[in-house]
Homo-oligomer: A and B are copies of this chain.
Amino acid sequence: MTTHVMFANHRDKILSLISELHCDTLVSFMPENVYYLTGFWGESVVVCTRNSSKLIVPRLEAKRAEKAAPSCEIVASERGKFIIDQVLNEIRRRKTCSDCDDHVVIELLLKNLSKGSLIINSEPFSKARMIKGKREIEMIAKASQIIDKLYERCIREIRPGQSESSLQAILVYEALMSGANMISYKWSTNPIIVASGHNSSYPHAEVTDRVFSKNDIIVVDLTIRYNGYIGDATRTFFLGKPSPRVKNIYEIVKVAQQAGIEALSSPQIAGNIDKLTRSVIDKAGYGDDFIHSTGHGVGLEVHERPWIRANDVERVQSNMVVTIEPGIYIRNKFGVRIEDTLLVKNNNTREPAKNFNSFTKELLEIT
């Protein structure tokens, strides 16, 4: 299957989902959704009907869009209001569903369209993207293989005197040299997480200049993109000999993570997978120190549906890709997190999930 066939299939998938809302046209404003539908990543809006995809781009992107999305008709436009006018031209006599979340744009569209002809609903887009196809799975596997390689590198680079920021630089260099890209996550200014010593007690630590020393814990959370698709994994390393308490906490997290992974091999709602993982940590007495959700979907976004979190009723199905990433964070002291990206297989027949990450989860003491 060529990528162009893949993008055409994606369009059909969303069009089929919006037909349930009595819509025949989709308009996408989100870069991930535009890429999913066209293969083009850049400033743009795409309008798709059963027979056509029109990619509206600012003039400066026209030639690049032609090359990246050869099966789309490219419409070059001035920016801002002019792009919205182009969109309106395309959808005026249609019944349209859009993923737009910007209130100014939504108001502008609604004001210029007949009542009821535009539905704002990103659900069909996220729902389509949640179930991955063969090529998408291949890309996530490739991203994950690069991550495995980066963890091998961690073993060689983690030593007293190395800093969080220098390890980050080395890993990012290696990722880029391997053909991967770093992801942009608006709530962070760092491409990856390298959190040592007490910094590891922050699940979303920023990278600092802190220098590693003996008896440090070092949490390395890597998210990288390969041909659009993301792999996400976390390993926790020890410089020197961990204390019995640290060893114990590591084992609890490891058992909890395994429980989460095993929960993927039988039909479950997401909230139940969170509960099964969490209960291991709860029972061990660290429930209050597991201060985030168990996992999330991964694909073109690092965090996307399904959400593996408390009380979530989404059914976890075959060909979803999710992380399982419990952690225990001892305030102002240290944290431990173990995370893999996994492909849910046929859980109706108890087929185990496929782990994209093969780097060891045995407790690693670097001496």
Residues on A close to B: CB < 8 A? 31, 41-43, 58-61, 63-64, 100-104, 106, 120, 165-166, 168-170, 172-173, 176-177, 179, 181-191, 201-206, 209, 225, 228, 291-292, 329, 331-332
Contact = CB atoms under 8 A, between A and B. Distances in A.
Nearest to A101: B102
Top 6 closest A-B pairs, CB basis? A184-B184, A169-B176, A173-B173, A64-B202, A103-B103, A60-B292
Contact of A41 (B165, B187, B209): B187
Nearest to A107: B103
B101 A188 contact: no
A63 B331 contact: yes
Given A188-B42, A228-B189, A203 B169 contact: no
This chain's copy number in the assembly: 2
B43 A204 contact: yes
A62 to B, nearest CB: 8
A186 B183 CA distance: 9
Contacts of A186: 31, 184, 186
Given A64-B205, A181-B190, A186-B186, 20 more contacts: A31-B186, A41-B187, A43-B187, A60-B291, A61-B203, A63-B201, A63-B332, A100-B103, A102-B102, A103-B106, A166-B177, A169-B173, A169-B177, A172-B173, A172-B176, A181-B191, A182-B191, A184-B188, A184-B189, A191-B191
Contacts of A332: 63
Contacts of A101: 101-104
A331 B76 CA distance: 14
Contacts of A202: 60-61, 63-64
A150 to B, nearest CB: 13
14 contacts: A31-B187, A60-B202, A60-B291, A63-B331, A101-B103, A165-B177, A169-B172, A169-B173, A172-B172, A183-B184, A184-B188, A186-B186, A189-B228, A191-B191
Nearest to A78: B310
Contacts of A165: 176-177, 179
A332 B173 CA distance: 30
A190 B179 CA distance: 11
Nearest to A209: B179
A190 to B, nearest CB: 6
A201 B62 CA distance: 11
Nearest to A35: B189
A58 B203 CA distance: 11
A26 to B, nearest CB: 17
A168 B179 contact: no
Contacts of A169: 172-173, 176-177
B168 A204 contact: no
